[in-house]
Chains A and B, each alone.
Chain A
C-alpha cells in the first residue's frame, strides 16, 4: 500500500490502463446495435482520467519509477488537452464510423491505447520510456488506419505508414544507442549532465543527434521526411486521419522537448541548425504543394507539414518564449485540425465522403452556420486576425525574432502568405459558388454542437489568448528550470 501511494502522479495512466482492459473485455459481450455502451464507457474513462489528473496535480517536478517517468506541469497540461482532443475526435467520428460499419470496440480500444502511448511520451524522462510510448502510439495508429480492411486505399496508407514509421523508429533507436555509447546513460537528466561535463567522443554524439533528429522529423512529417503524410491522411478513413492529426501532435511536441531540449540543451547550436533546415523546407513545400490539391484531406496533410515547420521554428528559437509559443502553436493546431476534419465528417454520409474541395461549394446556401464555422477555422489556419491561428503564428515569429533568426522569420511570413491563398479559396468556394449537391446535411446533434464550440473557441481564444499563453509559458518554464 505504501508503494501504491508513491505512484500518485501516475494514477491517470494506471486508471486508463485498467479501464482499457475492462472495456476490451466488456466489449466482447456487447452486440453491434448496443456499441454505444462501449462508446459511453470510453468517454467516461476520458472524463475520469481528466478528474484524476486535475486532482493529483502538485506543483513542482516529481520523478517516479527510477527516473523513467516525470510529472511536471507541462505534462499535466498536455495530458488534459490530449484527453479533450481524443474525446472530441471520438464524438466527431461516431456517426461517420457507424455509417461505414467501422464503429467497433477495437477502434475505441486502440484509440485509448494510442492515448496511453501519448501520455507515456508526454511524461517520459528516459529514452526507453520515450521510445516505448512512441511505439504504443504508433502501433495503435497503424492498426487503426488498416481497420477498413476492404478499402485498398486505406490498406495502402497503412502499409506506407507502417514501413516508414518503422524506419523512423529504427533511426531514432540507432541515434539513442549512439547517445548511450557517448554518455553512458539513457536518463534524460543524466545525459544532459554528461554532455555539459564534456563527452570524450564528440563525433559519436553528433552522429547520434543526426539520427535522432532524422527520426523525429519522420514522425513529425517534416520535409524531407514527409512522404508518408499526404498518402496516410488521404487514404485513411477520415476518423483515423482526425485521430492521427490531432492529439499525437501534442505528444510529438512533448517528445521533441524531452528529447532535444531537456536532454541535449548543451548541443543546441547543433540541432537548431538542423531544425532550421527542416522548418524552412516544411513551410515551403507544405504551403506550395497544398495549393495544387483538389482533395481537402490531402490539402490538410500538406498544411500539417507547413504547420509542423512553424512548430519547429518555435522550438529552434531555443528560449523559454520559443518553447512556450511552440506549445501554444501545437495546442492551437490540434484545435483547428479537429474542427477541419470534424467538418469533413459532418458533411459526409453513408457512401459519400465530403473530402473534395467541390463538396464545399455553396456551403453557405446549404447551411450558413456551418459555413461560418468553417470560415473561422480556415481564417485561423491561414493566420487571419482576430482568430487564434494569427496569435499562434505571431508568438512563434516574435520568439524567433528575439532569438535573432530574422531570415527564417522573413521566409516564414512569406510562406504563410502563400498558404493563406488555399485556405481562403475554400472560403470563396463556400460563399461565392453555387452548390453542386442539394442533399440536406444530416446534422447530428452531438457533433454539430461540438463543432460550433470548436469554431467559436478558435475565435474566442484569438480575442483572449492570454490565459492559454500564460499556462503554456508557466508550464514550459517549470519543467525546464526545475527538472
Chain B
C-alpha cells in the first residue's frame, strides 16, 4: 500500500523534473525563468515532506520572491540573441550528457550501496507541534553566532559590491535638484566685470 506522502512526493518530483527539463529546453528565456520558479516550488514541496519547513519557506520567499525577479530583470536587460545562444548547444551536448551520466552513476553507487533495510536510516517523524523553525532558531543565534554575524558581513559586501559595480549617474538625465536651485546665490550665476571704457572706434 503506497502511503499518501509517497504519492505526493512522486507528484512533486515529477513536477520538478519536468520543470527543470523545460528550463533548459524552453526557447524563450523568460519562459525558462518561469519554469525555474515552478521547479523551485516543486522542490519546496519536497523539502516540506522532509520536514525542513523553514528551508521550504525560505526557498519560496527568497528564491521565488526575490532571486527570480532578479533573473527576469537580467534576462530582459541582456536582450539575448536566441539564435546565437543556441549555436553551440549540439556541439557540447554529448559532453554534457557524459558528465551527467558520470554524476548519476556516482550518486547511485554511493547512495544505493547502503540501501539495505538494517543500515538505511529512516526519516524521523515528528509530532504535530514540532517546529523546525524553532529548532533552527535555538542554534543559529547561540551556537552558530560566529557564522551568523559573518553572514551579515557577506550581505554587507554584496551591498558594497552591487553599488560599486552598477551605480552610475546618467548623463542624459534632466532631473532638477530643487534644493540646489533654491540655494543658488547671486555670486554663482553672475559675474560683474569691470570693462575699461574705450573710445569710439575711429
Q: Point out residues on A near B: beta carbons under 8 Å.
A: 17, 21, 24, 64-66, 68-69, 104, 106, 109-110, 113, 116, 120, 126, 128-129, 132-133, 135-136, 139-140, 142-143, 146-147, 149, 178, 200-201, 203-204, 207
Contact = CB atoms under 8 A, between A and B. Distances in A.
A244 B168 CA distance: 26
Given A139-B157, A143-B161, A201-B119, 14 more contacts: A21-B156, A68-B146, A69-B146, A106-B163, A109-B160, A110-B164, A113-B157, A113-B160, A132-B150, A143-B157, A149-B168, A201-B114, A203-B114, A204-B111
12 contacts: A66-B143, A68-B146, A106-B163, A109-B160, A113-B156, A120-B150, A129-B150, A136-B150, A136-B157, A143-B157, A146-B165, A149-B168
B160 A143 contact: yes
A367 B156 CA distance: 44
Contacts of B11: none
Nearest to A66: B143
A133 B114 contact: no
Contacts of A129: 146-147, 150
B52 to A, nearest CB: 13
A207 B112 CA distance: 13
A147 B164 contact: yes
Interface residues of B, number: 25
B154 interface: yes
B67 interface: no
Given A120-B150, A143-B164, A146-B165, A110 B157 contact: yes
A146 B119 CA distance: 50
A110 B111 CA distance: 41
A447 B145 CA distance: 41
Closest 10 CB pairs of A and B: A143-B161, A65-B146, A106-B164, A66-B143, A203-B110, A68-B146, A207-B110, A132-B150, A128-B147, A113-B157
Contacts of A65: 144-146
Contacts of B143: 66
A7 B40 CA distance: 40
B21 interface: no
A199 to B, nearest CB: 11
B84 interface: no
B123 to A, nearest CB: 14
B153 A17 contact: yes
Which secondary structure dominates where chain B touches chain A? helix
B180 to A, nearest CB: 17
Nearest to A210: B106
Contact of A136 (B146, B153, B163, B168): B153
A136 B164 contact: no
Given A65-B145, A65-B146, A200 B114 contact: yes
A200 B110 CA distance: 12
Contacts of B157: 110, 113, 136, 139-140, 143
Nearest to A113: B157
A419 to B, nearest CB: 32
Contacts of A110: 157, 160-161, 164
A106 B160 contact: yes
A109 B154 CA distance: 13
Interface string B149-171: 01101101110110111001000
Contacts of B165: 143, 146-147, 149
B78 to A, nearest CB: 13
A133 B150 contact: yes
A109 B164 CA distance: 11
Nearest to A116: B153
Interface string B119-163: 100000000000000000000000111110011011011101101
Contacts of B111: 204
B164 A104 contact: yes
B176 interface: no
A139 B154 contact: yes
A178 B103 CA distance: 14
A126 B146 CA distance: 11
B161 to A, nearest CB: 3
A257 B27 CA distance: 47
A196 B130 CA distance: 35
Nearest to A128: B147
A110 B161 CA distance: 8
Contact of A139 (B145, B158, B163, B164): B158
Contacts of A64: 146
B93 interface: no
Contacts of A116: 153
Contacts of A149: 165, 168
B11 to A, nearest CB: 26
Contact of A203 (B113, B156, B158, B160): B113
A178 to B, nearest CB: 8
A178 B143 CA distance: 22
Contacts of B145: 65
A207 B106 contact: yes
B95 interface: no
A362 to B, nearest CB: 39
Contacts of B150: 120, 129, 132-133, 136
B89 interface: no
B202 to A, nearest CB: 51
A280 B53 CA distance: 47
Contact of B153 (A113, A147, A178, A203): A113
Residue from the set A24, A65, A126 with the largest chain B CB neighbour count within 10 Å: A65
A132 B151 contact: yes
B92 interface: no
B31 to A, nearest CB: 23
B156 to A, nearest CB: 8
B90 interface: no
A204 B120 CA distance: 13
B4 interface: no
Contacts of B163: 106
A137 to B, nearest CB: 10
Nearest to B107: A207
Contacts of B160: 24, 106, 109-110, 113, 143
